[in-house]
Chain A
Amino acid sequence: MENQTLQKLVQEDNELWSQLKAGDEKAFSILFKKYYGYLIQYGNSFLPFAEKVQDCVQDVFTDIWVYRHSLSDSVVVKAYLLSSVRKRIVRLQQRDRIFNKSTSMDSVTFLFDFSVEQQLISDELTAGKVKHLNKLLNDLSARQKEALYLRYHHGLSVDQIAGILNVNYQSASNLLHRALINIRKEWKGNLALIMILLANWI
């Protein structure tokens, strides 16, 4: 799917979606296989219990099939699935007494850390820069990281991210923009220092 453009992908998903709504089991299976991995990964970034996450994702698909007649026509399937999994995990944590500390939508925390794409880095200078940038990224708040993850990994629109995080468009937009601005400011400031350090090291 990596060599397909986003638009093509959305179109393909929409076709499968309407087939599923019409009761096509094959379309259901294709969608399941296509997104199961992504959803598990997303779910795992909230819950450290792999089995519970698997249950949640499977339940999301179960609900989709059981209530297929009342599903909306105009959805971005990927955003819909990610949102459903997140909601389910929030509900699970609310129900689960062990985790029952707060009850709002924000009660789940995105515990995910970005890593460094080592294979694509050939020189030490780039490696140092990327490492530093990666550290700054992982120091962001959980919500900012989640927004970045949804925006630049899953390619969701700001609108869809706002829907998933249960905030308005402006808040979601600010969340993303400020993350970038702050990091760039800090990064630029430290870049000179890094260069010196690296020069000494070499």
Chain B
Amino acid sequence: MKKRSQYREIEDFLEDESFRLWMRSKKDVDGWEEWTLEHPKRAKLVEEARLWLLAMKVPNDDLSQEEVDVALQNAWMKIEKRERESKMEIQLIQLWHTGWFRKIAAIFVIGLLSFYAYTKYFTAEQLYYDYSQIVKGLDEDGLLEQINNSNRPQIVTLSDGSSVLLQPKSKLSYPKVFTGNERKVYLSGEAFFEISKNPKKPFFVHANEIVTKVVGTSFRIKAYANQSDVEVLVRTGKVKVNSEKNVDKTSQKEIVLLPNQALRFMRKERTFDKITDITTEKSISNSVRSIEQLSFEFTDIPVSQIFKTIEQAYSVEVDFPVKKLENCHLTTSLSDQPLPEKLKIICKCIGNNTTYTMNGNQITISTKGCN
């Protein structure tokens, strides 16, 4: 620091703490007044420096003691908060650095992941519930299985007299003899059912995710395992369709279908789509099989013609003595009857101890001729 005797510029004075003090608060600690008067040139400099200081006032907007105290309190609060936070951070870091915690965290994460994967896989499996799962889940013995690997429909006759026309690439599981109060069969693929009437023993068809309940009627079910929907189409009578209990526990929807109504079940969304007029649904009406188109209303029709209709409808061969039945004509309605019933009625109408035997697709009529 320069001695004040060497001050030549106003900066020298402005920088001097003691000088500033003298000018601003008139406290002359170092005898500035006396020193200034010693020299006229010096006095001029001092006067100019004074003007500078007077022009450079910084307003003293002093804060009250209270304001400062409040601010200090605030600062302490901020400090406390920060210290709490950093303490917690340190604890977390320490916890992370202890081996067991990381192990447990790892196990937890793996567990969570595998649980997620498991449930995802499980629900994916549950999404489609089909024939193979249904049949696998059954502990009933004595189930027969008919598989149609040919390219023609096959007729299956059940123990109650019902007949099922099984389409190619389709399977049907059914008991040799129906016992108990229910008749249950399991279908994969497409089939046309003609059920013999028995109100005491309702008939159930389990096909993929849906169950179709009937008492006596004819209808078709299309339920291939690899297709996204299941179709039920009613020809005569009334059927009720439900979703499988195993599949849908929450909403037990029951849909009633009347003749010429159909239903489509979307397997992915689990929704039922009822079609009240099948002629408007091209995909369904186009797939109508010959059996559903053929009329079984016969008025004075030669027996040979009737047998031809049956052959066409059920893809069977009917062997009958042509000559003996040459002049036989029948008037009958066979629309709502399963195949065995139809044959029985025809035989009865011909009379004269007429009987039939059925062996797979081969039907043989033995008769002595009509009345």
Which residues of A line the B interface, CB within 8 A?
2-3, 5-6, 29, 32-33, 36-37, 40-41, 54, 57-59, 61-62, 65-66, 112, 114-117, 120-121, 126, 129-131, 133-134, 137, 148-149, 151-153, 155, 176-177, 180, 184
Contact = CB atoms under 8 A, between A and B. Distances in A.
A43 to B, nearest CB: 12
A58 B71 contact: yes
B11 A180 contact: yes
Contacts of A40: 63
B108 interface: no
Contacts of B51: 126, 129-130, 133
Sorting the interface of chain B by its residue count into under 10, 10 to 19, 20 to 34 or 35 or more gives 35 or more
B33 to A, nearest CB: 15
Nearest to A40: B63
Contact of A116 (B21, B57, B62, B79): B57
Interface stretch (B24-32, B97-105, B195-203, B300-308): B24-32
Contacts of A41: 58, 61
A108 B278 CA distance: 80
Contacts of B15: 151-152
A137 B86 CA distance: 47
Given A58-B71, A58-B74, A116 B17 contact: no
Contact of B29 (A3, A62, A116): A3
B52 A133 contact: yes
B63 A36 contact: yes
Contacts of A62: 75, 78-79, 82
10 contacts: A3-B27, A59-B78, A115-B57, A115-B58, A116-B55, A116-B57, A117-B55, A133-B52, A133-B55, A134-B56
A59 to B, nearest CB: 7
B55 A134 contact: yes
Contact of B75 (A58, A137, A153): A58
A134 B53 CA distance: 10
Nearest to A157: B15
Most buried by B among A58, A126, A151: A58
B173 interface: no
Interface in B45-76: 51-59, 61-63, 68, 71-72, 74-75
Contacts of B72: 29, 32-33, 36
B83 interface: yes
B267 interface: no
B18 interface: yes
B171 to A, nearest CB: 70
Given A40-B63, A152-B20, 8 more contacts: A37-B62, A65-B75, A65-B79, A120-B23, A120-B24, A120-B26, A153-B56, A177-B11
B14 interface: yes
A65 B86 CA distance: 13
B10 interface: yes
B71 A117 contact: no
A117 B10 contact: no
B68 A152 contact: no
Given A37-B63, A133-B51, A117 B57 contact: yes
A5 to B, nearest CB: 6
